[in-house]
Chains A and B, each alone.
Chain A
Amino acid sequence: MPSPRYTREIPSRYRLEAARCEGCGAVAFPPRQICPRCRGREFEQVDLSRKGRVITSTVIHVPPAEFMMQAPYAMAIVETPEGARFMTQVVDCDPGCVLPGTEVSLEFRRIRKEDHGGILCYGHKAVPATLTVAREEWE
């Protein structure tokens, strides 16, 4: 991925910056210029909570080349309390346990390393919320 494009996508990937439409209240993540629900053009910035709930999920057994070392891994559509939905990996657990309804926390992680550009690609991954609680208690 060319670095200008990578840089452009940082605010939503690194900081979970979303946009709430001032017309209808819908949350667009990543931010958009036009609201997909009401076509409004005025937005306020919202930082998403670092938690959410799995809407649907899968376990990838046949991955793209860049994710070969991670397979099998769980992927899910996660919804945050603000109503933003997005695709993410769910890690640090048995991938088979990630099912609709699973509560997760969002953590900043390395996503992959690019073959040619050599850019290390970062973003957010989810971990089951029960695991986060257990970790905090242990610490």
Chain B
Amino acid sequence: MRQVAIVGAGMTRFGELWGSSLRDMFVEAASGALDDAGADHVDSIYVGCMSGGQFVGQEHLGPLMADYLGMAGVPATHVESACASGGVALRLAFMEVASGMCDLALATGVEKMTDGADVTNVLATAADQELEVYYGVTFPGLYAMIARAHMEEHGTTEEDLAWVSVKNHRHGALNEKAQFRRELTLDQVMSSSMVAEPLRLLHCSPVSDGAAAVLLCPLEQAKRYTDRPVEILGSGLATDSLALAQRESPARLGAVRKSAESAYKMAGIGPEDVQVAEVHDCFSISEICCIEALGFAEEGRGGSAARDGMTAIGGDIPVNTSGGLKSKGHPVGATGIAQAIEIFRQLQGEAGERQVEAARVGLTQNMGGSGASSVVHIYQGV
């Protein structure tokens, strides 16, 4: 297997981009990544997108996007794993370059969520239709059940949940690509309207449009494109039952733990070696469960991490320096790639006001559904 590096990145702003279509956003992000690397061609394109079919009635995204990038003829594949579609697209691009099948692969993610579709129903297709959605549960409802199980088992509090949102908005306020570039107070979060008990509106990531792209090549060719490539040291993907009820415990995200174990093993490092991470905070409780599953906090102890400052910029292990899904926005298919871009910039030393000092090793974790799929990547500045 060849060593693989990220050599360029591009993304749209995240938010309600009413003036941009699915393909417009893709072209902005993808051409941005090519320009960033000074590349004039690609050998392969992966398009992570959860549901072009249901959000805007458009499938067959591989050839559509290749054509609009001016690259009709290039192999292009649509990748779907619900909200982990972007992370899985990155993994496939990584594998294709690592295997020697191609030299220059573009990993992208895109989602158009504000064109009028019933977003709650479309997102619910990532849960089990027969066993969950049929009975009236929503995605916030599933994560609310995870939250209540975590509170029951470990004593996590509503205030612990709220601190995750406060911390991520503090980070996102520094990110010009973020949908909600403003800070929140604990009171604002704790008094926002109830969505699914115990989760309130400000515990939930928003509905967003956006696209993101990164360009990958063999490490030995990376200096052609950038002075500061970032190597991908490890990749892990794991699955669990779609239905929350069929897991051993609703308070634990088994797929996140397994995907992290494979990525750590491949990279030959452990959680203590990571200095900056982007994790899938689609709801405040998911950041708490994920940092436990990734090994940044002991099981049951993730609740105090944001409140104590451990996961803030300047803390032991800064998590979601981009603002996370909560503040930056969550155009579902684009999220996994946007996470990789934040780590790419952090390890290049180009994260501006959000820069984590002396960051050499970073991690991204992106998941689908209520944790039925999870993909982890580990990166190192070169």
B side interface size, CB within 8 A:
35
Which chain A residues in 93-139 approach chain B with CB under 8 Å? 96, 99-100, 111-112, 121, 123
Interchain CA distance A70-B246 in the complex, whole Å: 26
Contact A85 B118, beta carbon cutoff 8 Å: no
Q: Which residues of B contact A62 (CB under 8 A)?
A: 120, 138, 140, 195-196
Minimum Cβ distance to chain B for residue A71 (Å)? 9
Q: Which of B128-136, B157-165, B179-187, B262-270 contacts A (4 or more CB under 8 A)?
A: B128-136
Contact A64 B124, beta carbon cutoff 8 Å: yes
- Cβ of B238 within 8 Å of any chain A Cβ, yes or no, is no
Interchain CA distance A65-B120 in the complex, whole Å: 9
Contact A100 B141, beta carbon cutoff 8 Å: no
Minimum Cβ distance to chain A for residue B281 (Å)? 18
Contact B245 A85, beta carbon cutoff 8 Å: yes
Contact A58 B135, beta carbon cutoff 8 Å: no
Closest A residue by C-beta to B120: A64
Q: Which residues of B contact A59 (CB under 8 A)?
A: 194, 196-197
Task: Give the size category of A's interface with B.
Answer: 20 to 34
- Cβ of B144 within 8 Å of any chain A Cβ, yes or no, is yes
Q: Which residues of B contact A70 (CB under 8 A)?
A: 136
Interchain CA distance A100-B144 in the complex, whole Å: 13
- Cβ of A11 within 8 Å of any chain B Cβ, yes or no, is no
User: Mask for B117-160, Cβ within 8 A of A = 1, else 0?
Assistant: 01011001000001111111110110011101100100000000
Q: Which residues of B contact A43 (CB under 8 A)?
A: none
**B contacts, CB < 8 Å to A:** 118, 120-121, 124, 130-138, 140-141, 144-146, 148-149, 152, 193-199, 241, 243-246, 250-251
**A contacts, CB < 8 Å to B:** 9, 30, 36, 55-67, 70, 72-73, 75-77, 85-89, 96, 99-100, 111-112, 121, 123
Closest 4 CB pairs of A and B: A58-B144, A56-B149, A59-B197, A85-B245
